[in-house]
Amino acid sequence: MHTSILQVLKLNEPRAWNMDGRSGMSHSAECLLLNDDGTVDQVGVLKIRGEDLIAKTKVGIYTASFAMRANPSSRVIEAVLTDLTPLAPSNPAPILSQQKLAASPAAKA
């Protein structure tokens, strides 16, 4: 299992899918992947699978846990979110502030 610091900025609207006679809802969120010092490493979309994870995902900062799994349709092995643990303000891990966000290279681009 691997962990990363992740900031959820926005939950996207769920999208319905239908493939090979199966259907369901696809959930995702707009996120920042943070370095250990709280600066932005990457910006992207996180797929959220499983009703328990969908229910607990809100805008905020988390330690995200991932595991490697084979995608059932493509058989490609990929990282899959397995848990989100909210980071409390008292947590020693740096938390991205608006000042750090404004000073990041991504904000200047």
pLDDT tens for 27-61 read 999 999 998 888 899 999 999 988 889 998 999 99
Read out DSSP for the chain?
-EEEEEEEEEEPPPEEEEETTEEEEEEEEEEEEEPTTS-EEEEEEEEE-SHHHHHH--SEEEEEEEEEEE-TTT--EEEEEEEEEEPPTTSSS----HHHHHHSHHHH-
At residue 92, the pLDDT reads: 42
pTM: 0.71
Tokens of 54: 């969908």
**Integer CA distances (angstroms), 39 to 24, 33, 47, in order:** 35, 9, 22
Indicate if the pLDDT at residue 107 is higher than 80.
Answer: no
At residue 89, the pLDDT reads: 57
Average per-residue pLDDT for the chain: 81
Q: In the chain, where are the structural domains located?
A: 2-108
At residue 91, the pLDDT reads: 46
CATH number of the structural domain 2-108: 2.40.50
Better-scored residue on pLDDT, 94 or 30: 30
Better-scored residue on pLDDT, 34 or 2: 34
